[in-house]
Amino acid sequence: MKIIYLCGGINKLSDADAKDWREAAKAALGGTYMFLDPMRRDYRGKEAESVDLIIEGDIVDIRESDILLVNASRPSWGTGMELFYASKLGKIIVTVCPDERPSPWLIGHSSKIVKSFEEAFAVLKELAG
């Protein structure tokens, strides 16, 4: 079974903003995919003393994943760097970006950009065959 890394902002976000879309992905695609969710290592409030743990954990997850599902609904340094790293590893990257004019960097490093999570879930179901 293929593995999806749930890539999106965490730092400075509420529980709802950081977790709800990830839980929706697991509910919509569970049984079809396995997931690597960086929220299992929630370092909010401890970022400064956890820099290496955060980066190393995310890099391991990205390497072990087959696909990234990216929440690009708001700017995030970590999300951008994870997306770039994954693209250089040749990962499939499905990006959710409601912006009418996404950044050329986002376009250039995503396999597919959609406007909603519902669209992303449909794309991922198609990829699963």
**What is the model's pLDDT at position 57?**
95
SS3 content of the chain, % helix, strand, coil (to 5): 50, 20, 35
Residue in this structure with the two tokens 């929630």, named with its chain if needed: 42
Tokens (6 digits) for 37: 């969710």
The predicted-structure confidence for 4-13, as pLDDT tens digits, reads as follows 999 999 988 8
Task: Spell out the domain ranges in the chain.
Answer: 3-42+63-128
**What is the model's pLDDT at position 42?**
82
Residue 44 has pLDDT above 90, yes or no: no
The predicted-structure confidence for 25-39, as pLDDT tens digits, reads as follows 999 999 999 999 999
The predicted-structure confidence for 61-115, as pLDDT tens digits, reads as follows 999 999 999 999 988 999 999 999 999 999 999 999 999 999 999 999 999 999 9
3-42+63-128 CATH = 3.40.50.450
Among 21-25, 46-50, 94-98, the range scoring the smallest mean pLDDT is 46-50
Q: Which residues contact 83 (CB under 8 A, 6 or more apart)?
A: 7, 68, 70, 72, 93, 95, 106, 109, 110
This prediction has a pTM of: 0.94
